[in-house]
Amino acid sequence: MLTSEILNTFRELLDEAVASADSEPTAMNLSTADAAGRVSSRIVLLKGVDERGFRFFTNYDSDKGAQLQAHPQVALCFHWKAVREGVQVRVEGAARRLLAEESDAYFASRARGSQIGAWASLQSQTLADRATFEQRVAHYEHEFEGRDVPRPPHWGGFVVEADLIEFWYGAKFRLHERVRWSRHGQTWTHRLLYP
């Protein structure tokens, strides 16, 4: 569980990023590893944060979903260049699936086109040509015509339960400020790090 001090610090920085010139302030780099230890990174969008951790959503059958099942330890990194002198927030911890009800609620809030896309995309699988994907989109548009689009069983959310968070504040001459929080059991401690 995140402490109120950690949550408040993160939320304050996120609010600054939202108010800044950053076009995608909720973008975060997600790094995962497969069963053999090969690391992959990609940008995903933060869809919520609370005392449990940082939430995002994906296709469970994608490469990322398979890696999260094989090796739940992940790293996240936010980078807000337009906040102060530049800010990074680094997060490490274990990714756990959200409850089905939580994934259902978020899925219902998505734009209908995004809902259809979740059914049509065989994420990370080989696509013969764009026309094949467009045919799949048309198929699911027809299948769900006139009714709500249910959440696909292969799609849902994860929460990253952090055990390490670092707030990195940029400064001139690379004299950055780094504050690292570490969780040991239910207790969080923090220390400064050299830049």
Kindly list the domain boundaries of the chain, sorted by start residue.
4-111+151-192
Kindly report the pTM of this predicted structure: 0.93
Model pLDDT, residue 80: 97
Tell me the pLDDT tens digit for each residue of 159-174.
999 999 999 999 999 8
Please count the other Cβ atoms lying within 10 Å of the Cβ belonging to residue 4.
8
pLDDT value of residue 21: 82
**What is the separation of C-alpha 66 from the centre of its chain, rounded to a whole number of angstroms?**
15
Token pair recorded at residue 19: 């108010």
**Which candidate, 70, 2, 64, places its Cα nearest to that of 30?**
64
What are the angstrom distances between the C-alpha of 55 and each of 3, 4, 25, 98?
16, 17, 15, 8
Beta strands in 47-186 (DSSP E): 48-50, 53-59, 73-80, 87-97, 155-169, 177-184
Annotated binding site: which residue ranges?
42-47, 57-58, 64, 88, 106, 110, 114, 123-124, 168, 174-176, 178
Going by the annotation, the residues of the binding site for substrate are: 47, 106, 110, 114, 174-176
Residues 77, 29: contact at Cβ < 8 Å?
A: yes
Binding residues for FMN: 42-47, 57-58, 64, 88, 123-124, 168, 178
Which class is 4-111+151-192 in CATH?
Answer: mainly beta
Regions of the chain with pLDDT less than 70: none
Helix, strand or coil, per DSSP, at residue 99: coil
- Residue 32 has a pLDDT of 98
